[in-house]
Amino acid sequence: MNTYTYTVFDANPHTSSGTAWPHAQELSVEAATDADARKLVLSSLTRMCSTLGLEDGYVPGQRIYTLVWNQDGVLIGNPPTYTLHEHDLGLPVCQL
């Protein structure tokens, strides 16, 4: 197993002034491969997003980004992103 670190951002850190979440900087996961690490980070990100609310300044459709590094400090592949949904923000989900 290898240790990977990741940080969560409220906007794309490559193209904007995305701000790292203070409580989600340099978190770590243990994984056998880069692909496994990305899956674990996305799962963690999904759980984190489910605790957000409108009062936090987020809206449905907004994307939340991560950067993931391997144990050598190398950025690995396409970082996972998550699109916020109504249910993440505690809003009722319209069903047609």
Residue 41 CB coordination number (10 Å): 25
Q: Does residue 83 sit within a domain?
A: yes
Which range marks the domain in which residue 66 is found? 2-89
Q: Which residues lie closer than 8 Å to 74 by C-beta, 6 or more apart?
A: none
Number of domains in the chain: 1
Positions of E strands within the chain: 2-9, 27-31, 63-69, 81-83
Q: Does residue 94 sit within a domain?
A: no
Q: What digits encode the pLDDT tens for the residues 33-91?
A: 999 999 999 999 999 998 888 888 899 999 999 999 999 999 997 777 899 998 888 88
pLDDT for the residue 95: 53
pLDDT band at 19 (very low <50, low <70, confident <90, very high): confident
Q: Does residue 14 sit within a domain?
A: yes
Q: Does residue 96 sit within a domain?
A: no
Q: Does residue 62 sit within a domain?
A: yes
pLDDT for the residue 78: 72
Q: Does residue 95 sit within a domain?
A: no
Residue range 15-25: mean pLDDT, rounded? 81
Q: Does residue 44 sit within a domain?
A: yes
Q: Does residue 51 sit within a domain?
A: yes
